[in-house]
Amino acid sequence: MNYHIKWVINRWKKHKKMVFILLFLTILSVSVSVAYPLVFKYLLDTLKNIIVHPDNFPTPMKEVNRILWIIFAIGIASLISYIYPGMRGYMNLLFEYILRKEYFSFITEKDYKFFSKFRTGDLVTRLTDDISDFPKISWFLCSGIFRAFNSFIKIVFCLLAMFYLNWKLTLLSIIPLPIMVLVFYITSEKLYSTFKRNQESISEINNQLELSFSGVRIIKSFVCENKYNRFFSIALNKRFHTEMKVVKLNTVMNLIYEYVDQFAQIGVILFGGYMAVKGEITIGTFYAFYSYLSMLIYPILDIPQLFVSGKQAFVNIDRLEEIKNFPTINKKNRGKIEIDKIENIQFKNITFHYETRKESVLSNINFNSSKGEKTLILGPIGAGKTTILGLLTGILPVEKGEILINNIPLESIDIIRFRDKIGYVPQEPLLFSGSIKDNIMFGNNELSDKQINDIINIVQMRDEINKFKEGNMTLVGQKGMSLSGGQKQRIAIARALAKKPEILILDDITASLDAENEEKLWEDIDFAFKNITCFIVSHRLSTIKYVNNIIFLDSGSLVGHGKHEELMIKYPEYKNFIYEHLRKME
């Protein structure tokens, strides 16, 4: 069975009841539609016979009333069938909701390799444009398929009724079907490749929009508005051409389908009219046959449309499955051991490299850190400092060696529970749209107002927040755009501390704090979070006096590990690094 068909069936299996209801309503609505011409044929022929042969009908009104009652019953059934389009619309929205939620959850499980390949705008396109509206996946899963099924049932029922009325006219009316199938077969690959290029161009547009909006300050400070306008115009021009190819392809195919059917319709009308004039068929039969022929026009167009929209939906399915199947850490291989308290962390012979680089970023790294210790990671730019933090949080996978938590390998530990014990502040603090309070409570929704105020005091933000009209309910804007760099970093620290972590990871965040605020920050952390284990990356030498140990890296290797005084004596590389740093500060 085709992979895409299996994918669709698996989605249907989860909503069997709704599928059966739609099947029932499809058959009911088609039966009602097909019954009308037969009943009216019978009514017309009966009225004609009553007029021509009145002696054969002693109670003519009784016969007419019987037919009218049949029409009334069909009308009631038709009323019930009117909920069918509404049910399809409901299922379209339901599938859209389910798919977006499902594939978003896959994305949140991916690691750094995934986000190195897929850009934000592309992912947004796959979770929005690829799923919603005509003729994308959510529409295709219900309306697309059930419209075609409706059309197929209607064609079958109509053809049965037409064969019953006159087999010659029926054979004439089905001439377009093999021609339409042939047209689709010839153009199927062209359809798939055209739709695929179009969706890729939409992703490129969204990538450009995301880059432009997120980097608007840089664009304006470098006076690069015209440059980015050119970038956007190039991407927009590409999308325009791919969209036009899709429109042209759809237009040509619809014209072929429609005109083939129209020629068949003209032939049936001429031939059927000739038979009616000669008396080979009755007026009622000709009326019924013409009604069925009119009913077949759109269903005959709907069948090939299923294949056209199917090809486009299959492109969208492949794009969703691409992000789902991108290789990442297998959940089944994740550990299940839960650690109560983190007493010791050990890096043992750790080696790591990024796929984009030939050489290792870290090579044979060994160090220990016990509960309550504050460890400062120093080294030149590109030495691997941030990579160590990524490995510690489990965001980056261990390539060689192992990380031991309480002498237990990290891969054997429940990573979700482990990360609950970590407060992490990245090098570039990202705030979410919402209030300052929302951002602080991001990892802990159970904080009281007093606890929030205490954390605000710890990160030295009380006076600044008091100056805002809305206080901690002040909206920060997209990515914290309405705040200064230092304010964003301190709110990010508050967000990390709000989790009440056992491990606090700070990636070069004190650069935006002056010496006085940094000193107060460490004093308050020591007072409020006793025995907290800290890993700090910093380029400020003043941080040295607040830590217990220093890890000094150079070119991915661990040069030395110990106290500042020990490193100054034992390792010339460390001593030169400190003096060079002091010289630059003069």
Higher pLDDT, 303 or 132: 132
> What local confidence, expressed as pLDDT, does residue 256 receive?
67
Q: pLDDT of 327-348, one tens digit each?
A: 876 554 567 888 889 999 999 9
Q: Is the pLDDT of residue 180 over 70?
A: no
> What local confidence, expressed as pLDDT, does residue 77 receive?
66
Q: Would you give the DSSP letter of residue 544?
A: G
> What local confidence, expressed as pLDDT, does residue 252 receive?
73
pTM of the complete model: 0.70
CA gap 317, 468 in Å, rounded: 47
Q: Is the pLDDT of residue 531 over 70?
A: yes
On whether the CB atoms of residues 302 and 157 are closer than 8 A, the answer is no
On whether the CB atoms of residues 376 and 539 are closer than 8 A, the answer is no
Q: Is the pLDDT of residue 428 over 90?
A: no
Confidence of residue 188 (pLDDT cuts 50, 70, 90): low
Domain covering 3-325 in this structure, CATH number: 1.20.1560.10
| Mean pLDDT across 264-288 | 73
Spatial neighbors of 248 by CB under 8 A, at least 6 apart, are: none
Q: Would you give the DSSP letter of residue 338?
A: P
Tokens representing residue 239 in the block: 């999308």
> What local confidence, expressed as pLDDT, does residue 584 receive?
63
Confidence of residue 421 (pLDDT cuts 50, 70, 90): very high
On whether the CB atoms of residues 493 and 521 are closer than 8 A, the answer is yes
On whether the CB atoms of residues 521 and 458 are closer than 8 A, the answer is yes
The CA-atom distances, in angstroms, between 454 and each of 90, 448, 450, 483, 525 are 48, 10, 6, 21, 11
What are the backbone angles phi and psi of residue 154, rounded to the nearest 5°? -65, -40
Domain ranges of the chain: 3-325
Confidence of residue 461 (pLDDT cuts 50, 70, 90): confident
Q: pLDDT of 120-157, one tens digit each?
A: 888 888 988 888 877 778 888 888 888 888 888 888 88
Confidence of residue 181 (pLDDT cuts 50, 70, 90): low
Which residue type, as a one-letter code, is found at position 522? W
CA gap 462, 465 in Å, rounded: 5
DSSP notation for 14-63: TTHHHHHHHHHHHHHHHHHHHHHHHHHHHHHHHHHHHHH-GGG-SSHHHH
Q: Residue 118 CB: number of other CB atoms within 10 A? A: 18
CA gap 16, 28 in Å, rounded: 18
The CA-atom distances, in angstroms, between 132 and each of 49, 95, 252 are 55, 9, 25
Spatial neighbors of 12 by CB under 8 A, at least 6 apart, are: 19, 141
Confidence of residue 207 (pLDDT cuts 50, 70, 90): confident
Q: Is the pLDDT of residue 72 over 90?
A: no
> What local confidence, expressed as pLDDT, does residue 404 receive?
93
Sheet harboring 400-405: ordered strands across? 362-370, 344-352, 400-405, 408-409
